[in-house]
DNA sequence: GCCTCCCGCCAGTTC
DNA sequence: GAACTGGCGGGAGGC
């Protein structure tokens, strides 16, 4: 059968000329079921070899041959085709087989992808192995393996799967999706895709009017080529391609195309990309010289392939854009709203400037490279520059993870090295700490010095992008790195931790407990003297990033937090944060508290320079890395000054919030609704000597997403999952990052850590603190198991007199599913002059699931990049509707095609 | 007739 | 050298 046999035809007689031997069914599937999780490197048998004993009936064979020679017959047969039971096909008569032929639509990649996705949970458990055996999948889905590659490649571009070995992938689900999208957005921005899109549109326009088209084309080409010479596949840490083959066809790879395609959506406003534009951009990057029609057509084909998969993922939706030149197919982003990158801590570098910073860490780079290209075969793929820094922190994270305790143990208060590890007794972990100490401090010190000198010598900042922003404002917008670096190890989930100042009258030292905002609400409700201290938070929970300007404005209104919050909202509304008119009171509270945090963020940063200057002068502190704690130190100073002014207002608002929040925080099926921020992280830091790093940070990003689909036992929601997950996925973002022991030692503060709620206590507070097991790591509030972290938190709060005895503060509140309320769409009068028609989905949609929090937040209709409402206008007039709709994609008037 | 995209050839890569 | 992987484009189905 020649070519037909060259590929695996796992199933059924789909095509007339295909070998009928490997059919759906039967014995192989049974075997597959008996052998779940295919053998990693097992070579799938060829169709002919696979089922030699499953011949078709002679009649069926005859039919196939007949239909092969006659397209009419074939088409007639296919029109009659029914999707009969696959497993019975071999027993069907010829007519029955004919009817079993699926129609073309039934074989579409989109539908196939739906079936594929249905096999795996969106948020798989880390402990259960979600291996994908391509052969098995192809067989079960009744398609050839070639098609599975198409799907898998796109999924891989989103890091929803990663390749384990030949014929074998591992399913990550959507755990990494938010991070991936953020990364892609960042890279897309760096690559100036927005400008490219505009350039292409402009070019089209000028072409239309014959305005010096040739010259503009050249300009555009040079623009594109200069901007994209080094565009490459964007990887996430821990999810790297392990096979050189994957790296070998980079430019035209469906993966890369898919990523670029996604980038176009993420950077464009409105988030609608026409196939034509996308193809042109993609071609432009590949081969500008032959922008011929065939290449264009090929690109379009591939984009359809990608789009089908993305549609199945519900990331995009097909629409039609009617422009002057007619109706064009396009796709609209319907996926999660990707927050602005200002707080994407790991992605803060731009391609050019990062190099200087990278050069400081050759070791890390080599390690990164090693991870990237383990086989060292052909390094066609290079990590995008924006990720180099990320990789650096990953390597650091990995070290920390390796040295992370599996079981928290209270450390001794003696100042010797022996007391340093709170960590487990496991030797490798112990060994890892000194290694970290040896490697990191000088570098950190160096970085810190750079930070310190940054105010005076802005150009010497290791984060060049921050330099221009560090202006003469009293409240200079914090260099992203400065703010985020200390929390660089923090997954977005933990960046929402809010330090709360705990005055400690007994010891004379105050504490800063980093709380999840919801915890902070609760705590502040009990103690009027509490202040929320902001961290640069990822805003996956719906907190939009804040512009420097908005920050400055907010800072000027520190007397009135609510006003500041409102102002911040106002400041952001125009560009980033939509005004939500009908938001619930709980959300308003949340927002208020977020604004408070943002407000405080400024103050924190304002004091950074001075405090760092002071700090670096002290020998004992020189060893300490620039960290959030240093900022915290000065935040506290600020707070001391401003506490009196603000506490009243804050208390009022926060008390209301906490009550509101508590009321609405009913435990429910929130696995899917949980975002990465859901894990509260808290630790207490004596304010008088707080210049040490952020303590235990528990990036359990993927554990938080264990879905209800996966049906996890509660045990899996505990710390074991993160560890498992780390092992399974090699994700450095998962795991426990311990506080640097030397730094603890430097301030002579024993650290006590728990897991989901991490608290470090001063010696005065540590005395009675219970020792907690790591098994409680990340314990979910939904768990019926008593949460020890809650006990500790309550213990701590009671101990410091912040809450009365007997009062219980929820230690691990989970963000409630807060649906985005309807709100007027902000109109973005973009230059787009087009009419949008929503495509009728080809794939039958299943009943919509209840929207998760993630989706709710992400799909903020009027989000930063939300598209203007483009009305379907059957009359053909090009209009942008003055949208009043709530959800763009739903508001689009669907024009049935 | 155009849009969409399935299908499978075939070349590069891996084992 | 067999098997895996995936770029690529012909051409069929759908509208």
Confidence of residue A850 (pLDDT cuts 50, 70, 90): very low
Angstrom distance (rounded) from CA A513 to CA A633: 12
3-state secondary structure of A205: helix
Whether the beta carbon of A16 falls within 7 A of nucleic chain C: the reply is: no
Distance of CA A449 to the CA centre of its chain: 31
Nucleic chain C: which protein residues 538-597 of A have CB below 7 A from it?
A: none
Q: What pLDDT, on the 0 to 100 scale, is given for residue A881?
A: 32
The Å distance, CA of A306 to C1' of B12, is 22
Give the C-alpha distances (Å, rounded to integers) separating A749 from A388, A415, A508, A863.
Answer: 34, 9, 14, 44
Averaged pLDDT for residues A537-566: 32
Residue A456, pLDDT above cutoff 60 = no
**Strand (E) or helix (H) holding A286:** helix A275-286
**DSSP assignment of A639-688:** HHHHHHHHHHHHHHHHHHHHHHHHHH----S-TTT--GGGS------BGG
Q: Determine how many CB atoms are found less than 10 A away from the CB of residue A267.
A: 25
Q: Which nucleotide is closest, CA of A252 to its C1'?
A: C7
Query: Which tens digits make up the pLDDT trace of A162-219?
Result: 888 888 888 888 888 888 898 888 888 887 777 777 777 776 666 655 544 455 555 5
Q: What tokens does A68 get? A: 């092969």
Q: pLDDT tens-digit profile of A470-527?
A: 332 333 333 333 333 333 333 333 333 333 333 333 333 333 333 333 333 333 333 3
| Positions of strand B less than 7 angstroms from a protein CB | 3-15
Q: How far is the CA of A315 from the C1' of B1 (A)?
A: 31
CA/C1' separation A500–B6 (Å)? 59
- pLDDT at residue number A252: 59
Cβ A108 to strand B below 7 Å: yes
Tell which residue, A258, A262, A256, has the closest CA to residue A185: A262
What does the angle CA A482 – CA A488 – CA A492 come to, to the nearest 5 degrees? Answer: 115
Cα A665 from Cα A2, distance rounded (Å): 62
| A3 CA vs B10 C1’ separation (Å) | 9
| Protein residue with the closest CA to the C1' atom of nucleotide C13 | A104
Distance A52 CA to C15 C1' (A): 42
Predicted pLDDT of residue A206: 64
Residues in chain A: 897
Report helix, strand and coil shares of chain A as percent, to nearest 5.
Answer: 50, 5, 45
d(CA A702, CA A493): 10
The values of phi and psi at residue A891, to 5°, are -80, -20
Of residues A149, A9, A171, A26, the one with CA closest to residue A92: A26
Is the four-CA dihedral A272, A277, A279, A281 of positive or negative sign?
negative
Going by pLDDT thresholds of 50, 70 and 90, the confidence category of residue A26 is: very low
pLDDT band at A788 (very low <50, low <70, confident <90, very high): very low
Question: pTM for this one?
Answer: 0.42
For the beta carbon of residue A456, count every other beta carbon within 10 angstroms.
9
- Residue A473: both structure tokens together: 């404002």
The pLDDT assigned to A445 comes to: 38
User: Measuring CA to CA, how many Å separate A380 from each of A245, A426, A722, A801, A875?
Assistant: 10, 39, 32, 60, 50
Read off the pLDDT of residues A331-356 as tens digits, 9 standing for 90 and up.
888 888 887 765 443 433 323 233 33
The answer to whether strand C lies under 7 Å from the CB of residue A146 is yes
Q: Is the CB of A39 under 7 A from strand C?
A: no
- Nucleotide showing the shortest C1' distance to residue A153 CA: C6
Q: How far is CA A591 from CA A586, A587, A751, A824, in A?
A: 8, 6, 32, 18
Q: How far is CA A45 from CA A94, A149, A344, A428, in A?
A: 26, 17, 46, 43
Task: Give residue-wise pLDDT tens across range A41-83.
Answer: 333 333 333 333 333 434 444 444 444 433 333 333 333 333 3
Give the distance, in angstroms, between residue A698 CA and nucleotide C5 C1'. Answer: 38
- Distance, angstroms, CA A853 to C1' B4? 35
Task: Compute the distance between CA of residue A777 and CA of residue A796 in angstroms, rounded to an integer.
Answer: 18
Instruction: Fill in the DSSP letter of residue A341.
Output: G
A377 touches A244 (CB < 8 A): yes
Report the C-alpha gap between A499 and A596 in whole angstroms: 12
Query: Quick one: A499 exposed, middle or buried, by C-beta within 10 A (0-12, 13-18, 19+)?
Result: buried
Which of A241, A238, A268, A264 lies closest to A253, judged by CA?
Answer: A241
- Which residue has its C-alpha nearest to nucleotide C9's C1'? A298
């Amino acid at each position: 059968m020649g070519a037909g046999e060259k590929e695996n035809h796992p199933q059924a007689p789909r095509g007339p000329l295909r070998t009928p031997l490997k059919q759906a069914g039967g014995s192989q599937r049974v075997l597959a079921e008996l052998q779940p999780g295919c053998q990693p490197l097992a070579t799938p048998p060829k169709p002919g070899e696979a089922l030699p004993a499953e011949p078709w009936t002679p009649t069926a064979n005859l039919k196939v041959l007949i239909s092969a020679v006659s397209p009419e017959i074939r088409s007639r047969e296919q029109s009659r085709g029914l999707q009969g039971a696959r497993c019975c096909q071999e027993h069907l008569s010829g007519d029955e087989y004919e009817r079993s032929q699926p129609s073309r639509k039934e074989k579409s990649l989109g539908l196939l992808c739906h079936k594929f996705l249905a096999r795996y949970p969106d948020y798989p458990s880390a402990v259960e192995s979600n291996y994908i055996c391509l052969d098995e999948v192809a067989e079960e889905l009744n398609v050839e393996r070639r098609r599975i590659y198409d799907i898998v490649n796109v999924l891989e571009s989103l890091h929803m799967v990663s390749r384990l070995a030949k014929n074998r992938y591992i399913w990550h689900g959507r755990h990494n999706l938010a991070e991936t999208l953020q990364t892609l957005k960042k890279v897309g921005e760096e690559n100036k895709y927005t400008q490219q899109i505009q350039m292409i549109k402009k070019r089209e326009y000028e072409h239309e009017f014959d305005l010096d088209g040739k010259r503009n084309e050249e300009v555009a080409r040079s623009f594109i080529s200069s901007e994209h010479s080094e565009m490459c596949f964007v990887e996430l840490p821990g999810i790297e391609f392990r096979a050189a083959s994957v790296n070998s066809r980079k430019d035209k790879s469906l993966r890369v195309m898919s990523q670029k395609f996604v980038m176009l959506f993420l950077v464009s406003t409105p988030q609608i990309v026409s196939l034509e534009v996308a193809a042109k951009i993609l071609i432009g990057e590949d081969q500008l010289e032959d922008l011929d029609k065939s290449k264009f057509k090929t690109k379009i084909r591939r984009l359809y392939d990608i789009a089908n998969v993305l549609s199945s993922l519900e990331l995009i939706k097909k629409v039609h854009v009617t422009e002057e030149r007619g109706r064009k197919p396009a796709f609209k982003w319907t996926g999660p709203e990707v927050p602005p990158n200002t707080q994407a801590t790991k992605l803060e570098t731009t391609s050019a400037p990062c190099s200087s910073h990278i050069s400081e860490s050759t070791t890390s780079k080599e390690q990164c490279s090693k991870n990237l290209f383990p086989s060292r075969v052909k390094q066609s793929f290079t990590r995008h520059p924006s990720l180099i820094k990320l990789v650096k922190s990953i390597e650091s994270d990995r070290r920390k993870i390796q040295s992370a305790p599996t079981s928290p143990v209270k450390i001794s208060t003696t100042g010797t090295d022996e007391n340093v590890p709170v960590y487990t007794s496991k030797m490798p972990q112990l060994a890892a700490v000194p290694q970290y100490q040896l490697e990191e401090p000088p570098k950190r010190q160096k970085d810190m010095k750079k930070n310190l000198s940054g105010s005076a010598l802005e150009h010497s900042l290791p984060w060049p992008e921050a330099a221009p922003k560090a202006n003469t404002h009293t409240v200079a917008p914090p260099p992203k790195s400065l703010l985020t670096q200390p929390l660089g190890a923090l997954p977005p989930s933990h960046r929402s931790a809010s330090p709360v100042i705990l005055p400690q009258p007994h010891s004379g030292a105050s504490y800063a407990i980093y709380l999840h905002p919801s915890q902070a609400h609760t705590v502040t409700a009990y103690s009027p003297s509490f202040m929320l201290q902001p961290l640069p938070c990822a805003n996956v929970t719906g907190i939009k990033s804040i512009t420097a300007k908005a920050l400055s404005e907010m800072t000027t209104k520190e007397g009135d937090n609510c006003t500041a919050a409102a102002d911040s909202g106002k400041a952001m509304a125009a560009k980033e944060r939509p005004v939500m008119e009908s938001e619930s009171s709980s959300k308003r509270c949340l927002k208020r508290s977020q604004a408070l945090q943002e407000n405080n963020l400024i103050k924190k940063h304002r004091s950074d320079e001075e405090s760092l200057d002071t700090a670096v002068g002290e020998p004992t502190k020189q060893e300490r890395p620039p960290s959030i704690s240093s900022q915290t130190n000065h935040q506290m100073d600020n707070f001391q000054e401003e506490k009196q002014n603000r506490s009243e207002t804050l208390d009022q608002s926060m008390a209301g919030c906490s009550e509101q929040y508590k009321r609405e925080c009913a435990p429910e099926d929130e696995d899917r609704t949980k975002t990465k921020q859901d894990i509260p992280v808290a630790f207490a830091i004596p304010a008088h000597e707080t210049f040490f790093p952020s303590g235990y940070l528990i990036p359990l990003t993927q554990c938080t997403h264990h879905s209800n689909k996966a049906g996890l036992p509660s045990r899996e929601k505990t710390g074991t999952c993160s560890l498992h997950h780390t092992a399974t996925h090699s994700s450095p973002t998962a795991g426990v990052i311990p506080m640097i022991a030397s730094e603890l030692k430097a301030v002579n503060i024993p650290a006590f850590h728990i897991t989901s709620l991490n608290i470090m206590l001063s010696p005065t507070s540590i005395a009675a603190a219970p020792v907690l097991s790591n098994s409680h790591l990340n314990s979910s509030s939904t768990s019926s198991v008593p949460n020890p972290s809650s006990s500790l938190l309550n213990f701590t709060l009671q101990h410091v007199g912040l809450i009365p005895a007997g009062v219980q503060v929820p230690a691990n509140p989970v963000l409630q599913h807060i649906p985005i309320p309807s709100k007027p769409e902000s109109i973005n009068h973009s230059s787009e002059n087009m009419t949008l028609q929503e495509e009728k989905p080809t794939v039958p949609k299943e009943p919509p699931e209840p929207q998760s929090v993630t989706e709710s937040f992400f799909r903020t209709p009027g989000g930063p990049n939300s598209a203007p409402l483009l009305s379907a206008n059957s009359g053909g007039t090009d209009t942008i509707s003055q949208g009043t709709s709530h959800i763009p994609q739903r508001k689009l008037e669907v024009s049935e095609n």
